[in-house]
Each structure stands twice: as C-alpha cells, then as structure tokens.
Amino acid sequence: MSVRLPSVRDPHSFYDVFGVVAAAVTVMALVLAVRYGTVVRIEMAVLVTLVFLWAIWAIERILKQSEAQSKRRRSPWNR
C-alpha cells in the first residue's frame, strides 16, 4: 500500500486539508512551547491566518472538482 503526502498546491481530498492543517498546528505548538514572545505570537497569528485562508481555498477547489466529476458521471436518463 502506498501512502502519498498531503498536497498543498493541488489538494485532492479533505485528508490533504487535514494533513496540512494538522502539520501547521503541530509546528505552531512546538514554536510556542519553545519561544513565547510578542513577535512570535504575531508570527503565529499570521501563520494561522494563512493556513485558514489556504484551507478555505482548498476546500472550495475540492468541492468544485467533485461537482465537475459528478456532472461527467451522470447517467444519460438524468439529463
């Protein structure tokens, strides 16, 4: 069984979104555990915002791809 890494540029499933968000949260938690200053908190807030915006974009893209696939798969009697 082959396992692929989550794709940031071309997400195909919600597992990609979950994997990237989980990795970002882990990195943020590690950074905040080691260093906790004003600048670090601002950087983490910017990173959270970027990850949130990426997740919205990725989910929209996945849903559009899914919709396009379902339109192609429709049977002839449903047209």
DSSP element (H, E) containing 11: none
pTM for the structure as a whole: 0.79
**37 contacts 45 by C-beta, under 8 angstroms:** no
Q: How many domains does the chain have?
A: 1
Q: Which domain holds residue 48?
A: 14-62
Rounded Cα distance, 31 and 62, in Å: 30
Is residue 43, in this structure, part of any structural domain at all? yes
Is residue 36, in this structure, part of any structural domain at all? yes
What does the pLDDT look like over 5-40, one tens digit per residue?
878 888 888 999 999 999 999 999 999 889 888 898
Is residue 78, in this structure, part of any structural domain at all? no
* pLDDT > 70: percent of the chain: 92
